[in-house]
Chain A
């Protein structure tokens, strides 16, 4: 959809230049797939970040994904796509369509900060976001959205995804009306087992509550230091269903979301356990 009222389209080649161009009448554009769909009151300048050297995926201990890497770039990166039994690739295959994923960028998606299957997965993986607002700082993805930082002036430059070994399994699941629609609710888990097969570390993240995906700490905490068995999984799922900030909206009621959450978290944890068992077999 062509936008009206835009008088300049700028393509800075350095981060400093990009930041200097972003005033109250300017909007940053990464893939542009979301910006172009909505009128923006008072915006006359688009600042295209596509010429910045931010389209990369580096694999070292974990992964560093540049802000303008597309969702397709992530899907087609063998290391990232295979990370933790393919949790990222599996999730991305359900985001929009190939046509959309060829243009939409990770940084743009995170900066948009709504309707996201990406956020709960990256939150469960303890991903970090690096922001540039004159100086560079790195913070957990989960805190990026706290206090509305994603509405601030800082530009996302990179997303970090920590390494994980064979002692770690993860799973993602979403409930939708149609494959193309946004989720009614989604959830992601990551579990690391210790020497005695006890849960040594755990993340449970639930999204589209309808708020953006966020860690559900009480659910994860209740699994620590014991086995990943049916009873404890069921208990964690029940706690998650209670703890999420569920609300009614046009997609689903709060009650329905809690019911979905209970089932979703249980299935995700069971899937993580199945993946551990598969590795042992």
Chain B
């Protein structure tokens, strides 16, 4: 079957298998930031924004994305300039092996769109579905708080 979706701002018409997950579709389309960590909704490494909300792409049928806006990490940088959340993650040591980072960044974007001034507690709650086995979460939380502050000062 064929569906239309807006992927990282561009209208795409794509063939999907009726049982295919959004994660498998996005990786097939070249969005390799969408990581297959567990394929079971636990790890959050495949988190993408579906109509602005962060979801596990492995738990959503690709066909459900028909007519929707889908955003992955690939769509964040503007002319080579990283998004503040990406920049902060790199600058503040929130990236070690990097496997979980795209999912954490997408989850953070969902949080910051609704809550530009999150507390540390709110950031930690938001990351409850994103596993990170390297950092112990301290650095990712710091990076998201720092990015939030920067985005408040210089909104897009």
A2 touching B125 by the CB < 8 A rule? no
CA distance A193 to B18 in the complex (A): 53
CA distance A133 to B40 in the complex (A): 32
CA distance A179 to B128 in the complex (A): 9
Contact with A along B12-28 (1 / 0, CB 8 A): 00000111110010000
Give the distance to chain A from B104, nearest Cβ to Cβ, in Å.
11
For chain B, the count of residues having a C-beta within 8 Å of the partner chain is: 32
A99 touching B130 by the CB < 8 A rule? yes
Contact with B along A71-93 (1 / 0, CB 8 A): 01000000000000000000001
Give the distance to chain A from B144, nearest Cβ to Cβ, in Å.
13
Give the residues in chain A near B54, CB-CB below 8 Å: 98-99, 102
CA distance A31 to B64 in the complex (A): 9
A7 touching B18 by the CB < 8 A rule? yes
CA distance A96 to B58 in the complex (A): 15
CA distance A9 to B17 in the complex (A): 9
A6 touching B18 by the CB < 8 A rule? yes
| B47 within 8 A of partner (CB) | yes
Give the distance to chain B from A4, nearest Cβ to Cβ, in Å.
6
Give the residues in chain A near B130, CB-CB below 8 Å: 97, 99
A103 touching B55 by the CB < 8 A rule? yes
| A253 within 8 A of partner (CB) | no
B61 touching A98 by the CB < 8 A rule? no
| A1 within 8 A of partner (CB) | yes
Q: Which of A29, A37, A98 contacts B40 (CB 8 A)?
A: A37
When C-beta atoms are compared, the residue in chain B nearest to A48 turns out to be B64
CA distance A6 to B64 in the complex (A): 14
Q: Which of B18, B39, B56 contacts A100 (CB 8 A)?
A: B56
Give the distance to chain B from A6, nearest Cβ to Cβ, in Å.
3
A98 touching B39 by the CB < 8 A rule? no
A9 touching B53 by the CB < 8 A rule? no
Interface residues of B in 70-97 (CB under 8 A from A): none
Give the distance to chain B from A25, nearest Cβ to Cβ, in Å.
13
B24 touching A2 by the CB < 8 A rule? yes
When C-beta atoms are compared, the residue in chain A nearest to B20 turns out to be A2
CA distance A48 to B60 in the complex (A): 11
| B41 within 8 A of partner (CB) | yes
A32 touching B64 by the CB < 8 A rule? yes
B18 touching A8 by the CB < 8 A rule? yes
Give the distance to chain B from A134, nearest Cβ to Cβ, in Å.
26
| A3 within 8 A of partner (CB) | yes
| A169 within 8 A of partner (CB) | no
A98 touching B129 by the CB < 8 A rule? yes
Contact with B along A92-114 (1 / 0, CB 8 A): 01001111101100000000000
Give the residues in chain B near A103, CB-CB below 8 Å: 50, 55-56, 59-60
When C-beta atoms are compared, the residue in chain A nearest to B49 turns out to be A102
Contact with B along A1-23 (1 / 0, CB 8 A): 11111111101000000000000
Q: Closest 8 CB pairs between A and B?
A: A97-B129, A6-B19, A3-B19, A9-B18, A99-B129, A9-B63, A33-B59, A102-B53
A sample of 5 cross-chain residue pairs with beta-carbon separation below 8 angstroms, ordered by A number, consists of A31-B60, A32-B61, A32-B64, A98-B107, A180-B128
